[in-house]
Amino acid sequence: MKTKQDLKASDKQFIWHPFTQMQDWERSAPIIISEGKGCFLRDLDGKWYLDGVSSLWVNVHGHRKKEIDRAIKAQVNKISHSTLLGLSNEPAILLAERLVKLLNAPLPAPHYARVFYSDNGSTAVEVALKMAFQYWRHTGVETKNSFLCLNNAYHGDTLGAVSVGGIDMFHKAFGPLLFRTFRAPSPFCYRCELQRHHPECGCACLGPMEEILKSHHQEIAGLIIEPLVQAAGGMIMSPPGYLKGVRELCTKYDVLMIADEVATGFGRTGRMFACEHEDVLPDIVCLSKGLTGGYLPLAATMTTDRIYSAFLGEFRDLKTFFHGHSFTGNPLGCAAALACLEIFEKERVVERLQPKVLLLKKLLGEMNGLAHVGDTRSRGLMAAVELVLDKGTREPYSWEDRIGWKVALKAREKGLLIRPLGNIIVIMPPLSITKKDLARLMSVIKESIEEVT
């Protein structure tokens, strides 16, 4: 048996942590999680913490949710993995049918037709990009070889996903490896690239997007966007009407619209999917994170019959979609996802979320008075507090100050685990959080900001 001290030492000796300066990590006192229950995580020392960012935005119904635990165990007793290449499996079939029905449910007529499985958000995006590109080839259009994406976008860490990303700190280093894209402004009202004000501007940031499309639509296969919330870019929330405007431009210029709902899907924004807020129908939708309730790595790229049928033909036509992963359609992940969706329905999760959404908005509003809180914003149970050096000029803290990180460490002492994005405090608890725990979470954040700034 390894002791706690042994485990901490081995972690530092053997693991290379993601998005982590390991020199800092090796000098730190790492928290090692040993169990979870509901919205709480317990570390090896026996201390319990509130899981303030849903274990990196994935958890939905809480940890150790009975129904999901049971579904996975039942599936383990049958089979844990078999391939979807040339074979099929029961949970993958049932989940595909359920997902297609779920996405079509709010619509007057079916729009979505097919599910392509993969393992994570980045691969869901890779699949979407390759699908969109090849769709045009199969329909005889040879010039649409590029994509339109947004400043501040984040679509994952594989090279295709990085190519359509727009966060310099993460993405610039890989520049020479990336394919060329077109960039439209980020719909970031607090720090508007066009120096305009909403709503008087009438979503002026759609203007430069249209200019690009007007000049280059023959080169653009698809536009990829995180609907309503550019999450990793700083919880940037687009103003009402913006998303609808993007859909209209895609239609007008015959460019496929890819909605990356990896962070926003499964109730996170207060509706099942963010696109529902503006009745927008993308041509391709990427899902992951909350799909399995945050239990297992699984992703789905959903698309329409129009795109799917362009890939049909004789084998010698080479219209096959040559893409797949070892764990595509993993039965354990699909069983977890089926249980997760069952809970959404049975517990009326989205409906019962609404009072919490309002409470979060109210408590966020109360933080606006703090000296170094420049902006607060929320959409559903996704929220952010942007810390600034100077409220009047909106001058940011220098990134080297790591002000967000200091607040997170302070919150940790008070029993709350959060992970900031630079100067932005991210608040994204599991949808199952109680109002009492949500109020506690917000008061810890408020105190931590007051003590650090």
Ligand X SMILES: *Cc1c(COP(=O)(O)O)cnc(C)c1O
Sign of the four-CA dihedral 174, 175, 180, 183: positive
Question: Are 300 and 275 spatial neighbours (Cβ–Cβ below 8 Å)?
Answer: no
Name the residue nearer to ligand X (CB basis): 59 or 122: 122
Given the rule CB under 6 A, which residues bind ligand X? 120-122, 125, 154-156, 226, 231-232, 260, 262-263, 288
Please state whether the peptide bond connecting residue 331 to the residue before it is cis, i.e. omega within 30 degrees of 0: no
Q: CA-CA distance, 418 to 415, in Å (whole number)? A: 10
Nearest approach, Cβ of 444 to ligand X (angstroms)?
24
Name the residue whose CB lies closest to ligand X. 121
Question: Shortest Cβ distance from residue 421 to ligand X (Å)?
Answer: 11
CB of 125 to ligand X, least distance (A): 6
Q: Please, are residues 353 and 381 in contact by the beta-carbon 8 Å criterion? A: yes
Instruction: Give the shortest CB-58-to-ligand X separation in angstroms.
Output: 8
Least separation in angstroms between CB 289 and ligand X: 6
Choose between 149 and 350: whose C-beta lies nearer to ligand X.
149
Quote the least distance from Cβ 177 to ligand X, whole Å: 17
Closest approach of ligand X to the CB of residue 245, in Å: 20
Q: Is 185 left (phi over 0), alpha (psi -120 to 50) or beta?
A: beta
Dist CA 82 CA 76 (whole Å): 12
- Name the minimum Å distance from CB 26 to ligand X: 24
Least separation in angstroms between CB 18 and ligand X: 9
Query: Alpha-carbon distance 106 to 103, whole Å?
Result: 7
Nearer to ligand X, 102 or 161 (CB): 161
Identity of the residue, 156 or 333, whose beta carbon is nearer to ligand X in the bound complex: 156
Q: Helices (DSSP H) in 190-297: which residue ranges?
A: 206-216, 242-252
CA distance 422 to 432: 27
Nearer to ligand X, 38 or 165 (CB): 165
Closer to ligand X at the Cβ: 122 or 330? 122
Beta bridge partners of 285: 259, 302
Query: Which three-class secondary structure state does DSSP give residue 228?
Result: coil
CB-nearer residue toward ligand X: 103 or 363: 103
Least Cβ distance, residue 297 to ligand X (angstroms): 7
Q: Which is nearer to ligand X, 117 or 154 (CB)?
A: 154
Residues whose CB falls within 8 Å of the CB of residue 53, separated by 6 or more in sequence, listed in order: 417, 418, 419, 426, 427, 428, 429
Residue 121 or 310 having the CB closest to ligand X: 121
| 263 vs 373, beta carbon nearer ligand X | 263
SS (H, E, C) 286-312: EECHHHHCCCCCCEEEEEEHHHHHHCC
> Looking at the DSSP assignment, which residues form a beta bridge with residue 387?
373
Closest to 249 measured CA to CA, from 273, 276, 216, 277: 216
Q: CA angle at residue 380 from 62 to 329, to 5 degrees?
A: 55
* Residue in 124, 125, 84, 115 with CA at minimum distance from that of residue 304: 115
